[in-house]
Structure 1
Amino acid sequence: MFRSVFFFCIFISVSSKDYYTKEDVDDYVKLLEDAVESSKTYQPATSAHEYKALKSGPPQDAGDYDFIVVGSGSTGSLVASRLSENPDWNVLVLEAGNFGNNITDVTAMSYKAMIMSDYNWGYYSVPQNNTCLGFEENRCPHIRGKGVGGTSLLNALIDIRGNRLDFDNWCAMGNKGWCYNETLPFFLKTEHLHWTDPNAPIDPAYHNSTGLLWVEQPMPRTEHTKVCNIF
């Protein structure tokens, strides 16, 4: 038996409303609870049947484009934005999913509830011999986001880079250009750090505030934040 503990952390901005009533908060809590209940019975798609063409006629002309970006995740959105800076280029972004909602914007819920929803492609690995032994047919779920924002809709709103040792190991194996110090400038180029916590230590050698991918510290800090920091 698996037991899960849900922490409902609700941060409501005062920019659009001077105050929120108890009814407002109750409605939002119910929204979260309904998402959790729905995730318990959700069945991921097992094929691409839902994308079957609805019409059998000739394809329609959608215009001419210099670049077509498939997927509007963190990378696809950033690439499309950079390409569109050239006024002479037409850029098309294709996305199979929807925009995020009030659930995907809640830190913990974006992972716990949304991985069993239409925001997840529902991929699984092929049967494994030495891993995934606790799953049916020894197949592990491979969570990948389907929607504007991609997997950032499902990863609890956590921005994290790969382990330095992994990059250096790839480089040592002959994958030139992938050493950590060689990839770090590109991580910095994409990041736009919004320093929301003045008490958080920030090493300027590893962060940047001029990129297109906005990141920030969760505020205000609560006791739940301290618990999360343990992990």
Structure 2
Amino acid sequence: MIDQTPPTAARRGPGRGLFIAVEGGDGAGKSTQARRLGDWLEGQGYAVLHTREPGGTELGRTLRELVLHGEDGSVSERAEALIFAADRAHHVATVVRPALERGEVVITDRYLDSSVAYQGAARALGHDEVRELSMWATERLVPDLTVLLDVSAQQGRVRRGQVHDRLEREADDFHDRVRQGFLDLAAREPERYLVLDGHGDADRLAEQVRERVSLLLGEAS
């Protein structure tokens, strides 16, 4: 079960930026929507940091190669969870927090919800255990907004085409558990999530994301 009392997003103060995570299963369109949101914000005059997990740092790129592009079975399930947490700890300490302290808008393609959904739910390592590992690694930094793009396992596979990493190669029932893991997280904190049907038109999805982010920016100002 997911913790019944999830932590709230860190309070914004003078000079604090905005932290946005874009989440969803493989093939959900996360990278596209993260890029479109960042381009729009930059057009509005905001300083934007685009990043991703794993791979948002030099260390992260090395870890990404190890955990996603090795042979099947080359990384044990618990090691996989720990590698992602290590990447996240370094990413937050060296990239995300400094940018937020500079007052920038940070948009990350994946964050701690991915670990809960993939390793906690789909790998059956436990929602609470995996989530708490990432909360410790990040010193409990939670996004101000998490955009969740929800797509079926079948649609995600179609969109990915013929190129698959270790996780993408998992069977559809694995990706079904990932999808449900994300939805369970969003159900616990609906005020901090924007859940969108990732099967929809990309332009309309981008518009909905902009509308929600505009509200947050209004609150911050």
Common fold, TM-score beyond 0.5? no
Greater percentage in helix: 2
Greater percentage in strand: 2
Q: Which has the higher contact order (CA 8 A, sep 6+)?
A: 2
Question: Which of these two proteins has the greater Rg computed from alpha carbons?
Answer: 1
TM-score of the superposition, structure 1-length normalised?
A: 0.25
